[in-house]
Amino acid sequence: MKKNGNVPVFCRITVDGKETRFGMKKDINPKLWDVSSGKAIGRTSEANEINMLLESTKSAIYKVYRDLQEKENSVTAEKIKNNFLGIGGKCQYFLELFDQHNKERELLVGINISKSTYGKYCTARSHLADYLKKWHNLSDIPLKEIDHKFVCDFENYLLIERHSSENTIVKYMKMFKHIVSIAIKYKWIYDDPFVGYKFRFKAVDRGYLTQEEVETLINHKFEERHLEKVRDVFVFCCFTGLAYIDVHRLTQEDVKISFDGGKWLIGNRGKTGVRYNVPLLDIPKMILEKYKGKLSGTRALPVTSNRCCNLYLQKIGKICKLKKHLTFHLSRHTFATLTLSKGVSIESVSKMLGHTNIQTTQIYARITNEKIGNDMAMFSEKINGMGTKSQENDDNLKLAV
């Protein structure tokens, strides 16, 4: 009992005969307390205030109890109290987890992830930090406060503030979901805020060069030596399907004699580490021979920076009067499309590109009208003669109708 005659109100939690208690930071006159019902009596403002506090506390504690029952093997009174009071266990924050993830990924650059992939995660983190600041006035947010609305609002932020395309939004949302999945794995959160969220990836018609356009590049004589080198590397990739990072790392040692006695490019993709095997045709062989012994170290081709390549390719496109926007990755699309249009199976193309599944190959490779024409011509040859038989049975068909 305190000097004013009041006594403190405590909350007692009992589970399986074991109890714990904590103070409610509220006092009451013993005359106003009903021991049997465990609440204040009377209709005074003091009694009403205490009873409202007791009811809200009881409701919250039962909710904690039910949540713990769903998530943990054993529930104790101490666990309930600590969870209700926020005692024990550090509050985990979203951007802190994202930073930890990115630091770990940085150490893996060049081992099992590319520098560009790491850079994309850094960009995603930057956008999420900007979203928190502008839309929520927060520098970070507890993981437990991330809900489905937070997820949908971030998508709207990317659309409204960043003016991102649908496919770019999908990439950032997948990175966001990846961080959330880590939090779920560590059991820092239990409810997945992405439940019910749909990734809306939009199929894009990826560009490619036709055979005639590739021939135009091959036959053009450039006065500027640096443009000629970029053209050579680009054409080389049109016939091998190598991505920029792979041709940049290509050495003479990657050119090997395969089982058929021919020269093949055999290596691992820089982006995914997946192995690629590409038989060398005459044009890429000639390009390799052109620069053999003329470059420093073991480099196979004179590959400049990706930025310079793309700038020079735009200039090359104008010089050759090509109406398409040339980028280095266009060579990879061109390889996939030309090989498929000439009858190479999608399984073989997928293997040469170093893809992990056929679906990725289908995105890169476009089925051209030429491919459709060739396929229908082959089909026509196989059913040749059916038309004559149909004419012979024409009267029977009419009767049947």
Identify whether residues 31 and 165 lie together within a single domain.
no
My answer on whether 240 and 360 are in the same domain is: yes
Does a structural domain hold residue 395? no
Using 50, 70 and 90 to split pLDDT, how confident is the model at 369? low
The 10s digit of each residue's pLDDT in 53-96 is 999 999 999 998 988 887 777 889 998 998 888 776 667 899 99
Is the domain of 111 the same as that of 58?
no
**How many domains would you assign to the chain?**
3
Contact 200, 155 (CB under 8 A): no
Please state which of the ranges 30-44, 86-100, 120-134 shows the lowest mean pLDDT: 86-100
Asked whether residue 371 carries a pLDDT value surpassing 80, the answer given is no
How far is the C-alpha of 337 from the C-alpha of 358, rounded, in Å? Answer: 14
Q: In the prediction, which pLDDT does 401 show?
A: 35
- For residues 231-243, average pLDDT: 93
> Does 122 fall in a domain?
yes
- Tell me what the mean pLDDT of segment 151-155 comes to: 96
> 72 and 103: one domain?
no
Asked if residue 195 belongs to a domain, the reply is no
- Same domain for 227 and 335: yes
Q: What is the CATH number of the domain that holds 158?
A: 1.10.150
Domain presence at residue 272: yes
Q: Note whether residue 167 is domain-resident.
A: yes
Q: Are residues 272 and 355 in the same domain?
A: yes
| End position of a domain, from candidates 85, 108, 130 | 85
In a domain, 389, yes or no: no
pLDDT one-digit tens code per residue, 330-340: 999 899 888 88
Q: In this structure, are 216 and 102 located in the same domain? A: no
Mean pLDDT, to the nearest integer, of 246-260?
Answer: 87
Q: What is the pLDDT of residue 364?
A: 60
Regarding whether 66 and 32 lie in a shared domain, the answer is yes
Q: Is pLDDT at 390 greater than 50 in this prediction? A: no
What range defines the domain where residue 154 resides? 94-185
pLDDT in tens, 280-312: 999 999 999 999 988 888 889 999 998 999 999
Taking all residues of the chain, what is their mean pLDDT, rounded to a whole number? 86
Q: What pTM value is reported for the model?
A: 0.58
Say if 197 falls within a structural domain. no
Give pLDDT, residue 386. Answer: 55
The answer to whether position 380 is within a domain reads: no
